[in-house]
Structure 1
Amino acid sequence: MGGFPIEVATRIKTLPPYLFAAIDKMKQEAIARGVDIINLGIGDPDLPTPIPIIESLANAAKDPKHHQYPSYEGMLSFRKAVAAWYKRRFNVTLEPANEVLTLIGSKEGIGHIHLAFVDPGDVVLVPSPGYPVYPVGTSFAGGASHIMPLTKANGFLPDLGSIPKELAKKAKLMWLNSPNNPTSVIMTKEYFKRVVEFAQENHVIVCHDAAYSEVYYDGRRPASFMEVEGAKDVGVEFHSLSKTYNMTGWRIGFAVGNKEVLAGLGKVKSNLDSGCFEAVQEAGITALSLDDSMTDGLRKTYQDRRDTLIPGLKNLGLAVDPPPAAFYVWVTVPKGYTSTSFTAHLLEKAGIVTTPGNGFGAPGEGYIRMTLCTSKERLAEAVERIKKAGL
């Protein structure tokens, strides 16, 4: 029997290669050549998950009641833990039953929410450079991304005033991300207030990705979008346990805020995926109940790394500002290079994996992103290797 041509859908054909999968392939090829790689490419915490969280999972996994299908919206006890954490951290009051939704990692919710609210041809306001799932989720729903460029001249914040009024009125969703990936910029409460006004005026749902809110430096704690009056009327906030508690592989996160928006996302979830394994939710309850001493230690580790890498890069003549939050360093490429060619130079000549800024969107051209997810010693070595390789 002969085969027949297998043709993927147009949405797949027009999809760029997933940025981090492409970087991983590049890294594996270098390793196969025998290169000792220093991986500053993907933001995956290298520190272990805290022991109390692991013990909680181990105990919960032994309980047969957790071995069946979990509820789509998540255990009420986990959602109560989320609400208690929001009250303690941000002084925000949430109703666990309908203003908190459990996710299989925040990426799942970020991708799925477009299917709940975006029809073919609808507009979504997307920051760029930014997390690739914002425009990809838009594309999968048949929507069109309107790029909000994040430029140094505007403090790497979306310029709300530059969005054409007609287009703003047509927009269904608006994505924000603070602390920002890849630029590490923090949005203030004053900025969030302007966002609420913009959303109310244009009837656009705000989706705020706050995955990095607990990775901050110099005691400067980022605000939650939900802290601002009116935020719950216009949008939702996505959060993850991945970055705060070193749980990237555990796949647990949550969305909070407007109950109608969460109900729409929940309807998509119930039709396309299942709930989060209850033993992982039990571990999540433990994580959210830990005091700040644990997260303070993580922040100190990342700050020590930041304060090792930044002076080293500056001594090489690279233009870079110390990030106020997140574990990313947004580096201006030297003259004579593009984002891609400088990334290739660092890999080929120094064995260092970084991420080209244009992989996060065209406005990221002229930058590369490095992560702080490796030891101080390896970061110092990376600086030495760049010095030897030359710019």
Structure 2
Amino acid sequence: MAGVSAPDLQPAPSASTRRVSARVGGIAESATLAVDAKAKALKAAGRPVIGFGAGEPDFPTPDYIVEAAVAAAREPANHRYSPAGGLPALKEAIAAKTLRDSGYEISPADVLVTNGGKQAVYQAFATLLDPGDEVLLPGPYWTTYPEAIRLAGGVPVEVIAGVDQGYKVTVEQLEAARTPRTKVLLFCSPSNPTGAVYTPEETAEVGRWALEHGVWVVTDEIYEHLTYDGAVATPMLSAVPELASTTVVLNGVAKTYAMTGWRVGWLVGPSDVVKAATNLQSHLTSNVANVSQHAAIAALTGDLSAVAALREAFDRRRRTMVSMLAEIDGVVIPTPEGAFYAYPAVQGLLGRTFRGVTPTTSAELAALLLDQAEVAVVPGEAFGPSGYLRLSYALGDADLAEGVGRIQALLAEG
């Protein structure tokens, strides 16, 4: 043993001595929240940072929703526990909203109200997956999806669509990735992070493929009302109603009604799945805050005039951002048709030198933009392959133009 240093003699941590479980210790933090937090910290320290990282509308929650919450807060019944699965009135409102917006009927009993969309994502996978089950994950994908899959014991299988495909996967790609262990397909349209919207025909083709091969579908439809240029967000169960017994629909009020901080999402699915997920939630968090649930009732039972105003502003900002990014040599930017994100391909910028720095990955490019241009963006590594950036256009017009202008100025030097 001569020549072996003391550190080399230390045993590897055993299951009994490990301070943090391998399951939780292996989770990557949310890249989008991390970028947003760093931007806010730098801004608080006096630096004029403009953040394109957060996926939340910059508008206040509409007044009528806030007033419903104020009234609910004064009602003593809302100071107590309520059913773990959600207030009956909210579950009925979700059923009515589904019929209004998606065109098919569901039972309120088949709704689980969750603490935001993220909890709906996790509980869907925790309920459906056994260890080793594979989930086909079209990419670029939202950074939370693979972590939720892994936490549930599943295996995310990336199926990547590049800029040449408009960031939309084909059934041929899905079929090539399918194995005997494939249980679930994750489907998200309009997409976070790319803003891609599958056409009604493309959605139906994906759904029929899943039906043919007995693959469950978890479909995230939280950006359903944010589409542009005539694009249509087609609900999966409207496209292929036969999938009802093997589909879980995820949604929430966060994006449509500028309610990210209220934390109200939901999942809809077959009765046995919803019952099991509700049992899980009864131990995990109990009910969603009653005041937030009453705010969500007001949102869903009102009209969609609030989202119309949001959509108009986002559309204007979308066009500004895309036109400015397209002017940068080395950037390829498809026009997003939904959500509020642009997802430029920046491979043409990698390997070039800007102010003495030569980024070779999109993560390094994002670091350069933050350090030299004081602009925060999320690198493509958070959503799949390197070589891309995600920029949210859910911020004020002036900040948007200033921020992209800084990016233009810095990258013009390379």
Q: 1:17 to 1:373 in 2, by over 3 A?
A: same
Indicate the residue corresponding to 2:362 in structure 1. 339
- 8 Å Cα contact 1:226/1:257 also seen in 2: no
Counterpart of 2:373 (choices 347, 350, 366) is: 350
Pairwise CA RMSD of aligned residues? 2.1
Q: 1:32 to 1:211 in 2, by over 3 A?
A: same
Indicate the residue corresponding to 1:93 in structure 2. 105
Q: TM-score, normalised by structure 2?
A: 0.87
- Identity among equivalent positions (%) equals 31
What are the Cα deviations for residues 337-381 of structure 1, in whole angstroms up to 9, with x where unaligned? 42112211211121110000111123xx21101001211111111
- 8 Å Cα contact 2:163/2:334 also seen in 1: no
CA distance in 1, matches of 2:152, 2:65: 36
Indicate the residue corresponding to 1:225 in structure 2. 236
Letter in 1 for 2:216: I
* Stretch deviating more after TM superposition (55-64 or 291-300): 291-300
Letter in 2 for 1:19: A
CA distance in 2, matches of 1:131, 1:326: 12
- 8 Å Cα contact 1:117/1:264 also seen in 2: no
What are the Cα deviations for residues 28-81 of structure 1, in whole angstroms up to 9, with x where unaligned? 553366320111011121110000000000001111111111211111211111
Q: 1:42 to 1:345 in 2, by over 3 A?
A: same
- 8 Å Cα contact 1:235/1:261 also seen in 2: no
Indicate the residue corresponding to 1:175 in structure 2. 186
Q: Does 1:328 align with 2:351?
A: no
Q: Does 1:253 align with 2:276?
A: no
Q: TM-score, normalised by structure 1?
A: 0.92
Q: Whose radius of gyration is greater, 1 or 2?
A: 2
CA distance in 2, matches of 1:201, 1:315: 44
Indicate the residue corresponding to 1:115 in structure 2. 126
Letter in 1 for 2:87: M
Task: Tell me by how many angstroms 1:168 deviates.
Answer: 3.7
What are the Cα deviations for residues 269-291 of structure 1, in whole angstroms up to 9, with x where unaligned? 12222111222212111101222
Indicate the residue corresponding to 1:379 in structure 2. 400
CA distance in 1, matches of 2:42, 2:72: 41
The residue correspondences of 1:1-391 to structure 2 (distance < 5 A) are 7-28=19-40, 30-31=42-43, 34-98=46-110, 100-163=111-174, 167-228=178-239, 229-317=241-329, 318-333=331-346, 334-335=348-349, 336=351, 337=359, 338-362=361-385, 365-391=386-412
The secondary structure found in structure 1 opposite 2:158 is: strand
* Unaligned 5+ runs, structure 2: 1-15, 352-358
- 8 Å Cα contact 1:90/1:227 also seen in 2: yes
- 8 Å Cα contact 2:187/2:219 also seen in 1: yes
The secondary structure found in structure 2 opposite 1:319 is: coil
Letter in 2 for 1:381: E
- 8 Å Cα contact 2:33/2:54 also seen in 1: no
- 8 Å Cα contact 1:196/1:230 also seen in 2: no
Q: 1:21 to 1:165 in 2, by over 3 A?
A: closer
Q: 1:164 to 1:94 in 2, by over 3 A?
A: closer
Task: Tell me by how many angstroms 1:5 deviates.
Answer: 6.2
CA distance in 2, matches of 1:160, 1:260: 28
Letter in 2 for 1:327: F
What are the Cα deviations for residues 153-209 of structure 1, in whole angstroms up to 9, with x where unaligned? 333223332345794432222211110111111122322322332323332221001
CA distance in 2, matches of 1:11, 1:327: 32
Q: 1:29 to 1:262 in 2, by over 3 A?
A: same
Letter in 2 for 1:84: A
- 8 Å Cα contact 2:345/2:389 also seen in 1: yes
What are the Cα deviations for residues 209-236 of structure 1, in whole angstroms up to 9, with x where unaligned? 1111111223433111121221312201
Task: Tell me by how many angstroms 1:15 deviates.
Answer: 2.4
Q: 1:285 to 1:161 in 2, by over 3 A?
A: same
Letter in 2 for 1:270: S
Q: 1:30 to 1:112 in 2, by over 3 A?
A: same
What are the Cα deviations for residues 281-338 of structure 1, in whole angstroms up to 9, with x where unaligned? 1211110122222211110011111122221222233321221110000112143242
The secondary structure found in structure 2 opposite 1:131 is: coil
Q: How many residues align?
A: 385
What are the Cα deviations for residues 119-164 of structure 1, in whole angstroms up to 9, with x where unaligned? 2222122222211222112211222111111223333223332345
The secondary structure found in structure 2 opposite 1:303 is: helix
* Stretch deviating more after TM superposition (109-118 or 367-376): 109-118
